[in-house]
Structure 1
Amino acid sequence: MMHKALTGLNLETLKKRPPEQLQAQSVTAVLLALGSNYKAEYYLPRVRQSLAALGDIQLSTAFQNPDFTSTKEQPKPDYTNQCVYLALKSEMTLQQLQQVFKQFECDCDRQRLTEPTALNQIKQVSMDIDILLIKTVLNENSLSNKTTSEWPEQWIVMADRYPFKAHERAGVEELILNGFLKG
């Protein structure tokens, strides 16, 4: 069945919460930012396949962007960025999702540097997955007599990611305009 999951969504009016406040929250859908500056043509399709195994996905256009930390003295490879709307087959907590996405990054040979890099060393990022928004089912509050079926779903912006970078905003807006037609 086709539906428009985010028609009319206004990013400016959505609640913004730090991820640490939402770790146990049940999530039904997410909006992700993918990024790669190393073999993106190989790693992006690979991670999209992994994401599709979790539910229905809708993709924005993939954008090629310069690394904003690049300088004339120290050029860096461009990033390929893409936003993904993922409607989960099964609810997961935000903490579970973060763990799954870290594993997907590892499956794409992501190397996380634990030591400072030399000044002339360029950081290669095979895959970076950032959660921009989550769709939650509001949990029943102990002070309320509402049943869980009366609680609406809502979108929450990850406060640590907002305001979005230009390419993230472009991808999110494209997905909103297209109405996230998979579901």
Structure 2
Amino acid sequence: MNKPVINVCDEFDGREQVRTLVLALGSNHHHERSFELALAKLGELGELDCSDVAASKDFTGKTERVYHNACVLLDAAAPNTVRAWIAATKEIERQCGRGDGQDVAMDIDVLAVQGSDGAWCVHQKRLPFKAHERTGLMQVAAWLI
């Protein structure tokens, strides 16, 4: 089996049509409800492979909050632009109750996208992957590590 091509990108090309994405999900407030809703909404967009949800302390060390994190490989039913995918994830965050406070019902970040050429683009600002991201990636997208 050939190892996929992985590029580190300064920015995602917001106009490129992509169908397969790797997402990082995190919650520190009502995590069970938030994960259930977020995964249901993402499942409406395509086929999901979700890692186990793992609990850990705030990786910044700024708070004592416990975060619940997972990674998702989304193989969408239809391609869309990266810009549109990011907008869709922000809408799912809002539906989960995301606001501007410290209580984060759901945070969804795009870690990587697979371009139409089959190569993967990992956003530079996501590197190095955090420990909780590596844990999830090992289950759903180990080739990115």
Given the two structures, how large is their TM-score scaled by the length of structure 1?
A: 0.72
Higher strand share: 2
RMSD, aligned α-carbons = 1.8
Deviations 1:48-86 (A, max 9, x none): 000000000001111101012335xxx422000000000
Separation of aligned partners in 2, 1:77 and 1:83: 20
1:32-43 matched pairs, under 5 angstroms: 32-43=23-34
**Contact conserved, 2:50 with 2:140, CA < 8 A, in 1?**
yes
Distance in 2 of aligned mates of 1:105 and 1:156: 23
| Equivalent residues of 2:7, 2:119 under 8 A apart | no
Q: Does 1:135 align with 2:126?
A: no
1:86 equivalenced with 2:88 (yes/no): no
| Structure 1 unaligned residues grouped into runs of 5+ | 1-6, 114-122, 138-151, 178-183
1:23 aligns with 2:14: yes
- For residues 3 and 122 of structure 2, the distance between their equivalents in structure 1, rounded to whole angstroms, comes to 12
Structure 2 gaps of 5+ residues are none
- % identity of equivalent residues: 30
Match status 1:46 vs 2:25? no
Rg comparison, structure with higher value: 1
Equivalent residue for 2:122? 157
Cα distance in 1 between the residues matched to 2:119 and 2:6? 9
SS at match of 1:153: coil
Cα 1:176–1:68, aligned 2, differ >3 Å: closer, same or farther? closer
Letter in 2 for 1:40: H
The separation in 2 between residues aligned to 1:176 and 1:8, in whole angstroms, is 15
Q: How does 1:3-18 map to 2 (within 5 A)?
A: 9=3, 14-18=6-10
How many equivalent residue pairs?
A: 142
Residues 68-147 of structure 1 correspond to what in structure 2 (within 5 A)? 68-70=59-61, 75-112=63-100, 123-137=102-116
Contact persistence 1:8–1:176 (CA under 8 A):
no
Moved >4 Å (runs of 4+):
7-10
8 A contact 1:9–1:176 mirrored in 2? no
Deviation at 1:154, TM superposition (A): 1.6
Structure 1 residues 103 and 9: CA distance shift in structure 2, 3 A: farther
From the superposition, tell whether residues 41 and 9 of structure 1 become closer, same or farther in structure 2 (CA, over 3 Å).
farther
Q: Structure 2 length as normaliser, TM-score? A: 0.90
Does the alignment pair 1:174 with 2:107? no
Q: 1:22: how far off?
A: 1.0
Q: Distance in 1 between matches of 2:69 and 2:20?
A: 20
